[in-house]
């Protein structure tokens, strides 16, 4: 058993850097807590409150856009925010950080075998024992698959498995059950509890889910307002397959569709028609083909058999699950949103003047999603920073809402969304659900999700 580490955070203040003549924007203020060796702590709070920033501070990984203005973080007497070079690399080798975006930290072209061998030198037999703890050892040819050949939920479990493979002293986990169904979530939670007991590692978990916090942590601290209500309600009853709804207003028609990964069939003889104004949910256990189906609709996955018709590639909006990988980190968020609105204007008569778009529409969508107005033209000092803000300066939940905003601003006839609330606290998830439901009666929307609130808002739900 590996001994854990002792964590002390004292009066920590972190701010976003701006130009030298501008005031800094506070991210975290006055954070204090202590975690004893081998203890487990949950960090809870709404999206954008600074939870991930706090965890990255423990790794000495604030990047160039953030600065500690007061206080300190100490890990077993070491000060990671003051460490550099080889000392910092040696410290991080004793830590494992599982990011909240499932594919962000896994090399997309490496096989599962190579990932686990590189992380901990595991033999094939040892790797399969580890993967069996996470319920993915029985996937055909699992060791030879790459992360891109796994579902979002399977990649999540693989990421956690790779994180604990090297017996870390400090285990940092960001939203461990986001984007997985209830059955897979139980496997992940049970496996993490086994990993905690076996390794003795100190564990810090970021979560919006109070039940997850209670399962994995001895206690919790709250960053920002507590928006973790549990009365999520029940989804509408599932239907095994879509009923025949084809007609003049049909915007998407799928007939006798079969999809495969290599020789393994993922989806067989699937049929679905979606009409204008409909919101259709796709649900089912992790690995059943939800993401693969959406990618096939978008033309990103080959069709083994059957047809998909009615999709105009110039009028499709896409909200991917992995927000970190889908937004260009070099481009300001304001520019990304303007481009999305301009693309819509080029296909409609919505241009307010030649070569321009309606900025008030962008502001309206941002307000509905409780995001800063990145395009605000008023001369306030903080606004100057917002207009230059890039995606890597935002939290995972904010990036996910930016993806939603971008897709809606394109004003698509067909909107395709993959777990659009997986990184969000309940308050922000409900904002997204409300906006997706009400944004356009002329649009057809298809959403893959495990979230009961999302499924309850759909006109019908298709179970895979």
The secondary structure of 96-116 as a DSSP string is: EEE-SSTTTTS-TTS-HHHHH
Q: Looking up tokens 């819509």, which residue turns up?
A: 344
pLDDT at 243: 42
Please state, in angstroms and rounded to a whole number, the distance separating the CA atoms of residues 12 and 73.
7
CB 278 within 8 A of CB 444: yes
Topology of domain 231-312+413-464 in CATH is: Rossmann fold (3.40.50)
Q: Looking up tokens 């999700």, which residue turns up?
A: 449
Which residue stretches of the chain have pLDDT < 50?
1, 21, 226-246, 350-355, 381-383
Query: What are the extents of the domains in the chain?
Result: 7-222, 231-312+413-464, 329-410
Using alpha carbons, select from 348, 343, 454 the residue that is nearest to residue 407.
343
Please state, in angstroms and rounded to a whole number, the distance separating the CA atoms of residues 351 and 353.
6
pLDDT at 244: 43
| Domain 7-222: homologous superfamily in CATH | P-loop containing nucleotide triphosphate hydrolases (3.40.50.300)
Please state, in angstroms and rounded to a whole number, the distance separating the CA atoms of residues 196 and 167.
10
CB 157 within 8 A of CB 135: yes
266, two tokens: 């993922």
Note the pTM of the prediction, 2 decimals: 0.60
pLDDT at 190: 79
Using alpha carbons, select from 139, 203, 133 the residue that is nearest to residue 168.
203
- CATH topology identical between 7-222 and 231-312+413-464: yes
pLDDT at 155: 83
Q: How many Cα neighbours within 13 Å face the side chain of 303?
A: 16
Stretch (H or E) spanning 48: none
DSSP per residue, 178-201: TT--HHHHHHHHHHHHHHHHHH--
């Amino acid at each position: 058993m590996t001994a854990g580490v002792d964590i002390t955070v004292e009066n920590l203040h972190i701010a976003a850097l701006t130009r030298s003549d501008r005031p800094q924007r506070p991210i975290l203020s006055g954070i204090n807590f202590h975690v004893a060796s081998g203890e487990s702590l949950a960090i809870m709070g709404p999206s954008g409150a600074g939870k991930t920033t706090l965890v990255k501070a423990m790794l000495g990984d604030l990047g160039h856009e953030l600065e500690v203005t007061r206080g300190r973080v100490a890990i077993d007497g070491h000060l990671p925010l003051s460490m550099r070079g080889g000392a910092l690399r040696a410290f991080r080798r004793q830590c494992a950080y599982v990011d909240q975006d499932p594919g962000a930290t896994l090399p997309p072209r490496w096989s599962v075998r190579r990932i686990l061998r590189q992380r901990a030198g595991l033999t094939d037999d040892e790797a399969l024992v580890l993967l069996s703890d996470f319920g993915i050892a029985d996937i055909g040819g699992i060791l030879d698959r790459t992360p891109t050949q796994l579902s979002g939920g399977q990649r999540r479990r693989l990421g956690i498995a790779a994180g604990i493979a090297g017996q870390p002293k400090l285990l940092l986990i960001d939203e461990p059950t986001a984007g997985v169904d209830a059955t897979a979530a139980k496997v992940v939670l049970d496996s993490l509890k086994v990993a905690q007991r076996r390794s003795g590692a100190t564990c810090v978990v970021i979560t919006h889910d109070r039940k997850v916090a209670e399962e994995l942590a001895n206690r919790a601290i709250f960053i920002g307002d507590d928006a973790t209500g549990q009365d999520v309600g029940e989804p509408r009853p599932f239907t095994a397959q879509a009923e025949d709804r084809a007609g003049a207003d049909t915007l998407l028609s799928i007939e006798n569709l079969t999809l495969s990964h290599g020789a393994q069939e993922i989806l067989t003889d699937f049929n679905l028609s979606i009409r204008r104004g409909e919101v259709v949910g796709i649900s089912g256990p992790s690995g059943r083909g939800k993401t693969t189906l959406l990618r096939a609709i978008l033309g990103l996955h080959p069709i083994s058999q059957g047809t998909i018709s009615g999709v105009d590639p110039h009028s499709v909006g896409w909200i991917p699950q992995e927000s970190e990988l889908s937004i260009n980190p070099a481009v300001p968020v304001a520019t990304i949103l303007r481009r999305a609105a301009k693309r819509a204007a080029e296909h409609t008569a919505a241009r307010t003047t030649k070569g321009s778009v309606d900025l008030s529409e962008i502001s309206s969508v941002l307000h509905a999603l409780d995001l800063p107005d990145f395009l605000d033209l008023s001369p306030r000092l903080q606004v100057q920073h917002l207009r230059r803000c890039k995606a890597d300066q935002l939290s995972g939940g904010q990036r996910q809402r930016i993806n939603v905003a971008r897709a809606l601003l394109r004003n698509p006839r067909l909107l395709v969304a993959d777990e659009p609330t997986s990184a969000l606290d309940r308050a922000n998830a409900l904002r997204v659900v409300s906006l997706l439901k009400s944004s356009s009666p002329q649009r057809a929307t298809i959403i893959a999700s495990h979230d009961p609130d999302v499924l309850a808002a759909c006109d019908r739900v298709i179970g895979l």
